[in-house]
């Protein structure tokens, strides 16, 4: 079922909730036909990570002039900023990019999905490969418009000894999905794949991931946290597959969500599909609301209720932010999130 790939040119590929992998993100309900193609446009350099410097590559309405694909070599400290900007109202585009981190290299990729228009449809597809002993940190910010439909699908192939760290932070869209598929060869490769969502209004965000362990001694750790307000809807689908022979796999996954309104919704489906016996796999999944006794405690000590609530929510989500190793990226995401709480 995960084989179904959304292609804006082919309306028969628009999944409805009857497709199990899209059960909670029903594209067909909102999109039936191929949207008109987005026109060419330009944007000034910048974006949410501008302060961190480094090289910038911008896809505007799906196009990036003379884009050859990214090939990262060496262990430079400067990050690369990859921007996907939508500027045309009601139009659609489908950018594709390939990123290769060659053996032994290191890349910090700061990716942003920026909405500067209303009601657009963006379907971004990335192919990423991380070579032997190489390391990729991918920080993804979702800044889509409230009425946009935005889908991002990344296929990540790791080589033995590779390190892949990913954090996705988003405030949702009308319908938004970040999907990551990782092929994990084990043999010293390790994956950390975190995410956070802070949603309000009628926004929807879906973090979906599939990590397939095919070799010995692979490690995966995943922490996804989210907060929903108003009538927003958060979706988490995380699947860890351990194939036959992938012994020594150690995989942990946790998803924790807070619903801070009466009509907010959270749907979660963590999956463990395991065909090897010498493994340690676990997942935890909680949905709840703020701890009343903690709120009470803080108010007793003089904090107004609103402030106490904000502080607890922030502390809850910052756990994900704190796990980002790259200093600049971590503080950038923290700032971005603070502005949204």
Partner 1 sequence: MAAVKETVDAVVELERYKYGFTSDVDTEFAPKGLNADIVRFISEKKGEPQWMLEWRLAAYERWLAMEEPTWASVRYEPVDYQDLHYYAAPKQKEGPKSLDEVDPELLEVYRKLGIPLKEQEVLAGVQGAPKVAVDAVFDSVSVVTTFKAELAKAGVIFMPISEALREHPELVRQYLGTVVPVSDNYFAALNSAVFSDGSFVYVPPGVRCPMELSTYFRINASQTGQFERTLIIADKGSYVSYLEGCTAPMRDENQLHAAVVELVALDDAEIKYSTVQNWYPGDAEGRGGIYNFVTKRADCRGDRSKVSWTQVETGSAVTWKYPSCLLKGEESSGEFYSIAITNGRQQADTGTKMVHLGKNSKSRIIAKAVSAGRSDSTYRGLVSVHPKATGVRNFTQCDSLLIGKECGSHTIPYIEARNGSAQLEHEATTTRLSEDQLFYAQQRGLSEEEAVALLVNGFVRDVLQELPMEFAVEAQKLVAISLEGSVG
Q: Is 273 in the site for partner 1 (CB under 8 A)?
A: yes
Binding mask 148-177 for partner 1 (x = CB under 8 A): ------------------------------
Residue selected from 78, 282, 305, 315 as contacting partner 1 according to rule CB under 8 A? 282
Stretch that binds partner 1, among 26-34, 67-75, 145-153, 259-267 (CB under 8 A): 259-267
- Residue 85 has, within 13 A of its CA and on its CB side, a CA count of 21
Q: Is 257 in the site for partner 1 (CB under 8 A)?
A: yes
In the complex, the smallest distance separating the C-beta of residue 185 from partner 1, rounded to whole angstroms, is: 19
Q: Is 16 in the site for partner 1 (CB under 8 A)?
A: no
Q: Is 232 in the site for partner 1 (CB under 8 A)?
A: no
3-state helix/strand/coil string of 261-300: CCCCEEEEEEEEEECCCCCEEEEEEEEECCCHHHHHHHHH
Nearest residue to 57 (alpha-carbon basis) of 88, 93, 20, 97 = 97
Binding to partner 1 in span 30-59, by CB under 8 A: none
3-state helix/strand/coil string of 115-177: ECCCCCEEEEEEEEEECCCCEEEEEEEEECCCCCEEEEEEEEEECCCCEEEEEEEECCECEEE
Q: Is 146 in the site for partner 1 (CB under 8 A)?
A: no
Q: Is 78 in the site for partner 1 (CB under 8 A)?
A: no
Residue selected from 281, 294, 295, 298 as contacting partner 1 according to rule CB under 8 A? 281
Q: Is 289 in the site for partner 1 (CB under 8 A)?
A: yes
Stretch that binds partner 1, among 65-73, 78-86, 88-96, 274-282 (CB under 8 A): 274-282
Phi and psi at 11, nearest 5°, equal -55, -25
3-state secondary structure of 105: coil
Round to whole Å and give the CA distance between 100 and 156.
Answer: 10
Round to whole Å and give the CA distance between 272 and 261.
Answer: 30
Q: Is 217 in the site for partner 1 (CB under 8 A)?
A: no
Q: Is 20 in the site for partner 1 (CB under 8 A)?
A: yes
The CA distances from residue 116 to 81, 238, 246, 283, 290, in Å, are 18, 30, 45, 37, 34
Residue placing its CB nearer to partner 1 in the complex, 275 or 297: 275
Residue selected from 262, 293, 301, 302 as contacting partner 1 according to rule CB under 8 A? 262
Q: Is 267 in the site for partner 1 (CB under 8 A)?
A: yes
In the complex, the smallest distance separating the C-beta of residue 4 from partner 1, rounded to whole angstroms, is: 15
In the complex, the smallest distance separating the C-beta of residue 340 from partner 1, rounded to whole angstroms, is: 19
- Reading the block at residue 290, the tokens are 């703020």
DSSP letter assigned to residue 15? -
Q: Is 13 in the site for partner 1 (CB under 8 A)?
A: no
Phi and psi at 35, nearest 5°, equal -75, 160
Q: Is 278 in the site for partner 1 (CB under 8 A)?
A: yes
Residue selected from 218, 264, 328, 332 as contacting partner 1 according to rule CB under 8 A? 264
- Reading the block at residue 256, the tokens are 């924790």
Stretch that binds partner 1, among 121-129, 145-153, 197-205, 260-268 (CB under 8 A): 260-268
Give the interface with partner 1 as residue ranges (CB under 8 A): 20, 244-245, 247, 257, 259-289
């Amino acid at each position: 079922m995960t084989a179904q790939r959304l292609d804006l040119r082919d309306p028969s590929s628009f999944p409805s909730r009857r497709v199990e992998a899209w059960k909670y993100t029903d594209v067909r309900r909102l999109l039936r036909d191929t949207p008109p193609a987005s026109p060419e446009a330009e944007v000034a350099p910048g974006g949410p990570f501008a302060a961190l410097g480094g090289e910038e590559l911008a896809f505007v309405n799906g196009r990036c002039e003379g884009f050859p694909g990214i090939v990262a070599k060496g262990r430079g400290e400067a990050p690369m900023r990859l921007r996907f900007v939508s500027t045309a109202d009601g139009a659609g585009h489908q950018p594709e990019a390939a990123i290769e981190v060659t053996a032994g290299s290191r890349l910090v990729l700061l990716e942003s999905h920026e909405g500067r228009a209303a009601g657009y449809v963006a379907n971004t597809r990335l192919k990423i490969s991380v070579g032997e002993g190489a390391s990729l940190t991918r920080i993804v910010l979702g800044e889509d418009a409230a009425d946009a439909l935005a889908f991002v699908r990344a296929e990540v192939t790791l080589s033995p000894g590779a390190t892949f760290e990913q954090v996705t932070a988003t405030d949702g869209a009308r319908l938004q999905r970040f999907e990551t598929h990782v092929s994990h060869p084990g043999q010293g490769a390790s994956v950390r794949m975190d995410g956070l969502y802070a949603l309000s209004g009628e926004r929807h965000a879906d973090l979906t991931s599939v990590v397939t362990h095919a070799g010995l001694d692979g490690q995966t750790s995943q922490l996804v946290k989210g907060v929903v307000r108003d009538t927003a809807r958060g979706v988490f689908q995380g699947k860890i597959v351990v194939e036959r022979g992938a012994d020594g796999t150690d995989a942990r996954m946790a998803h924790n969500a807070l619903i801070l309104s009466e009509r907010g919704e959270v749907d979660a489906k963590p999956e463990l599909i395991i065909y090897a016996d010498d493994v340690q796999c676990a997942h935890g999944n909680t949905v709840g609301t703020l701890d009343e006794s903690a709120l009470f405690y803080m108010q007793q000590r003089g904090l107004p209720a609103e402030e106490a609530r904000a502080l607890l929510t922030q502390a809850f989500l910052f756990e994900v932010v704190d796990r980002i190793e790259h200093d600049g990226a971590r503080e950038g995401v923290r700032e971005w999130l603070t502005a949204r709480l």
